[in-house]
Structure 1
Amino acid sequence: MTWFSRNREASSLRRWKPSGVTLFNLAMLAFAAAWLAPEWRDWPFPALTLDAPVPAVSSDRLSADFALCHRGDGTNCVVDGDTFWFAGVKYRIADIDTPETHSPRCAAEAALGARATERLAALLSAGPFSLESGERASDRYGRALRIVTRDGASIGETLVAEGLARQWGGHRDPWC
């Protein structure tokens, strides 16, 4: 028998017997794993608690200076109180209805529609905003239907609160 085979036989006969230091290390590792388990459960995203304040993060990234449209030039302009062009796309604000400025039924509708149009241009130009999808992507005229928000609040709701619009009820009601 050679030296190599004798050592191999001897090493295979040995059994692993943990020393006191090894058992202590294993016990500490198990304790640390059990103690840290709640923090590891949500890694890499920490758990949010109801007591902790959640920082407000604005996702508003769209912005432009809006003028009034003259026959649909299609470049960042407001058609009426609930319709505007932005970056070559025509949008209708999905959550409101405003008085008509094109073919109004009475002078009061025309005046209120003009005020709503001016106010929408001012609101859109006031800073970054977001366009959120609603129930449908577009209307029967091909306009993209979106809810316009700034800091999570609907710009349409601002027009409603100011008396320049009403919430969309699924159909147009007369303003006269």
Structure 2
Amino acid sequence: MKFIRLRPKRPRPRRPAPPQRDAVTPALGVIALFAVCGLGWIAVDQFLPASSQVATFAGTAQERTARFSMCGRNRHTCVVDGDTIWLDGQNLRLQSYDTPEPHNDICGGQAEVALAHRASARLLELLNSNSFTVQTSGQDRYGRVLATIRIGGRDVGDILIEEGLARRWPDGHEWWCE
């Protein structure tokens, strides 16, 4: 009889199971990244000086067009009155001229309010029917960006003054108060 000697099998060392992948931690990281970026965007918009916010218009002499309406709740691209507009979300005070106030009859009563509405309507018509250039230069005391808008090389203020809808600023006579 022949004996076959069997060697006992040694158990192979087991490899540890691969670790479970955590899907929550990367997702929270992505959410945190978006939150930080969003807060940064808001902080830049709120706290940078207005001169750096106006970079879109500063120094450009490129002609452009836009579709304006009279301002209501949505103040993105609209006409506030004869010398103030919103353009692409920025409040612009048009320089070198002044128009009557449409909401508070400061000195001219209802005649001033009526003239203010005519000036606003004319500015709306000029902006919607022509291409124009925008040039900015600082801010006024109310935080509005000071700007000059030209149509065919002419300041819109000069057009409104010629048509009897505005006066020179700051030394023009408020003739609508008489």
Q: The TM-score by the shorter chain falls in which range?
A: 0.5 to 0.7
Q: 1:173 to 1:162 in 2, by over 3 A?
A: closer
Q: How many corresponding residue pairs?
A: 115
Counterpart of 2:157 in structure 1 is 156
CA contact (8 A) 2:167 2:174 kept: no
Distance 1:96 1:122 in 2: 18
Q: TM-score, structure 1 length as denominator? A: 0.60
Contact 1:60 1:150 survives alignment (8 Å)? no
Q: Counterpart of 1:68 in structure 2: which amino acid?
A: M
SS at match of 2:176: coil
Gaps of 5+ in 1: 1-58
CA distance in 1, matches of 2:148, 2:77: 17
Question: Residue type of the partner of 1:141?
Answer: Y
* 124, 131, 134: which one aligns with 1:131: 134
Contiguous gaps of at least 5 residues in structure 2: 1-60
Residue of structure 1 in register with 2:170 after alignment: 169
Task: Tell me the distance in 2 between the aligned counterparts of 1:60 and 1:155.
Answer: 16
What amino acid sits opposite 2:72 in the alignment?
Answer: H
Aligned CA RMSD, in angstroms, stands at 1.9
Which residue is 2:111 aligned to? 108
Q: 2:76 aligns to what?
A: 75
Identity among equivalent pairs (%) = 41
SS in 2 for 1:140: coil
Bigger mean CA deviation after superposition, 158-167 or 125-134: 125-134
The CA deviation string for residues 123-155 of structure 1, in whole angstroms up to 9 with x for no partner, is 111122111235xx1101111111110221111
